[in-house]
Amino acid sequence: MLKLIADPVPYLLKSSPSINYFTRRDLLGEPLDNLSEVWQQPEVANLLRGQKEDGSWGKPGGYPPHHRPMIATYKRLRLLISRYEFDRKHPQIKAASEFIFSTQTPEGDFRGMIGDQYATYYTGELTSLLVMAGYDEDERIDHAFRWLLSMRQDDGGWTIPNLTLPPGNRRARIIALTGAPAEVILSDRSKPFSHNWTDMVLRAFASHQRWRTSHEALRAASLLKSRFFKPDVYRGYQNSNYWVRFIGWWPNLLTSLESLNHLGFKMEDPDISKALWWFRDNQELDGSWRTSYFPGNAMNPKLEQAERAWVTLRVARIFKGFT
């Protein structure tokens, strides 16, 4: 039986009011259903501040013209929706969601994060946020899912099209920086999947009650867990230590387990068990987990203190979900 080194609840209850609320609700089972005490916290007010009339945040600029606002809006929505549980009932979330939908192409992807180029991973991430915000039955969401399925590699996973080309032809980032229209780069489907970018796409499937049961999603999930603790096959985010770096939105062991839990995988699965044992063996004596176990890649002390509680809450939720 897998037993944690220390109970994380006392550590979490001494953290911020928001962490305290979610700990009592999700770990202790208290019947809390009013998020107003969370939504009234100063850090939430800061996230909501400065929204533009079109629903976006951030300064205009980049290529295409909505590039910088799209990135800034994504960063706000990621926290407001996945951390603080806002949804489309809130007028600012509805406005921001419609701004993101305005970047959807006729093909179905959300375009603009890397110039003219496809961004399978950001389309997956944005789709997951929109589903959590309450757009799960919106036809535009189904359009995004169909596009994601059409962009799989032959092995059933996903990568970034640009990465599948020879190094001399990898030009999407340069194109995005120069601000010039460019021919869209198509993926070489014969090349292997990337576990990093498959992780971000699977977040969409894991968030959706209907799409999470698809054969394609479960096949990709099996590919993802088979790569735990291994380096990615592509450059850029390749170091295997990225699996244990829990900062921001980039793929890691925690983000993968969160998706795999929603997709129905069980603790008895050898890959899942191995990952859970890693978290058990690397828990701090006070019950917490650090934001990064990547040597030389930690956050500054002030951010570490604030973010460690959120990481710990997510890990504790995972253990409750799998056990």
What is the reported pLDDT for 163?
87
Percentage of the chain lying above the pLDDT 90 cut: 81
Which residues make Cβ contacts (< 8 Å) with residue 172, sequence separation at least 6?
114, 115, 117, 160, 161, 162, 182, 185
Which residues make Cβ contacts (< 8 Å) with residue 122, sequence separation at least 6?
74, 110, 113, 114, 200
**pLDDT class of 323 with cuts at 50, 70, 90:** confident
Instruction: Please give the average per-residue pLDDT across 157-178, as a whole number.
Output: 68
Class at the top of the CATH hierarchy for domain 41-151+159-192:
mainly alpha
* Mean pLDDT across the chain: 93
**pLDDT class of 180 with cuts at 50, 70, 90:** low
Which residue has better confidence, 172 or 144? 144
Measured CA to CA, the distance from residue 117 to residue 200 in angstroms comes to 17
**For 248-275, what is each residue's pLDDT tens digit?**
899 999 999 999 999 999 999 999 999 9
**What residues pair up with 292 in beta bridges, in sequence order?**
245
Taking 50 as the threshold, does the pLDDT of residue 173 lie above it? no
Domain ranges of the chain: 41-151+159-192
Taking 80 as the threshold, does the pLDDT of residue 286 lie above it? yes
Only one residue has tokens 């129905």, namely: 264
**For 188-236, what is each residue's pLDDT tens digit?**
999 999 999 999 999 999 999 999 999 999 999 999 999 999 999 998 7
Which residue has better confidence, 179 or 202? 202
Taking 80 as the threshold, does the pLDDT of residue 281 lie above it? yes
**pLDDT class of 177 with cuts at 50, 70, 90:** very low
Which residues make Cβ contacts (< 8 Å) with residue 167, sequence separation at least 6?
none
pTM: 0.95
Only one residue has tokens 């590039």, namely: 67
Taking 60 as the threshold, does the pLDDT of residue 47 lie above it? yes
What is the reported pLDDT for 179?
56
Closest CA to 187 of 162, 205, 206: 162
What is the reported pLDDT for 219?
98
